[in-house]
Chain A
């Protein structure tokens, strides 16, 4: 097993030893990760990346999954500066659906040559390509203006990071904030992150009151998928539902 897997399994085992039952969601925090790493004599430079990896990049190890847990999420029910995580059985990951609502073919003609040579397949590369070719305008039907990338904000007194923020304006001049999450090849969208990003922008008074929750995902075959979500509250819990998904295929210029 790798360091991440060893650590997260040890955290899970330690929590069971302290009395948690596998019928419930199990909370843990950074201290639990540190204790597990100390016990295993493991050093990880970016400790918060361990739970993050199991939020969007990796499946939980079999030793945890066998009890029905399928993801790690941030626990938004507890306010505080230090992140508290949950082993959860709630379905978190959002995959590209087998059938999309629309498919389009477009080109990379609008990408300047020097940019096209160096664009990556990670989330930032995806966002760069979306910005240069104007996919947000096309997908939303709004005039979209990119405001900033990688926006750090506080949600329930904890840090959240939004990949891209646009402001869109419709034909009647009304403004909307567009909260965009991006995932590159090998990464998966997750509900918890979309909810936190949406709530974070909603709570910021300097941006429009209407917030659209959007995402862009690049798959192994080079297709770009743009998602629109509905983030709503039901039974006092935030929920996420896919509204539509459009697929874009880029022909080489």
Chain B
């Protein structure tokens, strides 16, 4: 395969992320990689080279690449044709700068169907909080905190919310963790990593693995890391999922351990409507 011309790249793709990855992909094939390779490594230099060679719009935040190119549906067709699935952070090499893989390993984790929905009594949540929380990821995380959902779901002896939105540097670069709890079982402390997703977003193996690895390496936190995902599904329904996250990819892939669907019982907010 020859490297693409600028006209080809811009003709085939209007999205700058697809333009970049198509250019990088073709150049990698010209320089020793084969479409038989399960993964193709690239880094910031490759991104800059593609930008300069083809006059592409700059990707200021390279972390946007794996987000926008997660799952085959978001990849350029020519990558999907050869079985590639996603762009992911190259965690194993533990570089703090931008290091990525084009991978054939499936990244998006499909949740099981909501066959069984458990109703949660929200009467313990202050009405004021109910009236000002939304149905999106943030709203569900707030209600889950007030209702001790994480504690109940994990069945720990103790579980306390420590903080939201932990931005921290780890062995494979910057990580953002939506919620952090400290739990305890049989006197042993655990850190509970909570990943929140909006209704139209998916959990991805690479992101969960990166976040878990980042917390495992934090000296100031407990060694045991439990990974949990929280996601709204429309209306008052949301799911909580516990993931099994191996310490490295050679020990297995990130898989669902169990998922439970919940529904907040009907909220009566009429008494708060005129209180603004």
Q: Interface readout for A39-82 with B: 1 if CB under 8 Å, 0 if not?
A: 00001011100000000000000000000000000000000000
Please indicate the chain A residues that have their CB under 8 angstroms from the CB of B183 in the complex. 114
A2 at the interface (CB under 8 A from B): no
Q: What B residues does A115 contact at CB under 8 A?
A: 160, 162, 182
Provided the pairs A148-B164, A167-B129 are in contact, do residues A118 and B221 lie with their beta carbons within 8 angstroms? yes
Closest to A168 in B: B128
Binds A, one of B14-22, B133-141, B199-207: B133-141
In the complex, what distance in Å separates the CA atom of A22 from the CA atom of B27?
A: 47
Among listed A11-19, A88-96, A122-130, A187-195, interface-contacting one:
A122-130
Contact of A45 with B173 at beta-carbon distance under 8 Å, contacts A30-B60, A34-B58, A175-B276 already known? yes
B182 touches A124 (CB 8 A): no
Instruction: Determine if B251 is an interface residue (Cβ-Cβ < 8 Å).
Output: no
CA distance A124 to B129 in the complex (A): 21
B97 within 8 A of A: yes
CA distance A140 to B15 in the complex (A): 49
User: When the two chains form their complex, are residues A145 and B138 in contact, meaning their CB atoms are under 8 A apart?
Assistant: no
Interface assignment of A173: CB less than 8 Å from any CB of chain B? yes
**Taking CB as reference atom, which chain A residue is nearest B142?**
A148
Q: Are B163 and A124 in contact (CB under 8 A)?
A: yes
Whether A112 and B158, one on each chain, are in contact in the complex, defined by CB atoms closer than 8 angstroms, is yes
- Contacting residues, chain B, for A242 (C-beta < 8 A): none
**Given A45-B174, A114-B158, A115-B182, A149:B164 Cβ within 8 A:** yes
Instruction: Give complex CA distance A149, B161 in Å.
Output: 12
Contact with A along B114-141 (1 / 0, CB 8 A): 0000000000001011001110001001
B189 interface residue (CB < 8 Å to A): yes
A209 contacts the other chain (Cβ, under 8 Å)?
yes
Residue of B nearest to A112 (CB): B160
Contacts of B217 in A (CB 8 A): none
Whether B220 is near chain A, meaning CB under 8 Å from some CB there, is yes
Chain A CB within 10 Å, residue with most, of B97, B160, B191, B220:
B160
On chain A, the residues within 8 Å of B163 by CB distance are 120, 124-125, 127-128, 149
Q: B160 touching A145 by the CB < 8 A rule?
A: no
A114, B184: Cβ atoms closer than 8 Å: yes
Cβ-based interface call for A101 (8 A): no
Q: Please state if A206 and B134 are interface contacts (CB–CB under 8 Å).
A: yes
Write out the residue numbers on chain A whose beta carbons fall within 8 Å of the beta carbon of B174: 45-46
C-alpha spacing A207/B276, complex, angstroms = 8
* Contact yes or no, B132 A147, CB < 8 A: yes
CB-nearest residue of chain A to B272: A175
A117 within 8 A of B: yes
Which partner residue on chain B sits nearest A150 by CB separation?
B165
Can you list 14 A-B contacts (CB < 8 A)? A34-B58, A43-B97, A112-B160, A112-B182, A114-B160, A118-B182, A118-B220, A146-B142, A148-B138, A149-B163, A149-B165, A174-B275, A206-B134, A209-B276
Interface residues of B (CB under 8 A from A): 44, 58, 60, 96-98, 126, 128-129, 132-134, 138, 141-142, 158, 160-166, 173-174, 182-184, 189, 191, 220-222, 275-276
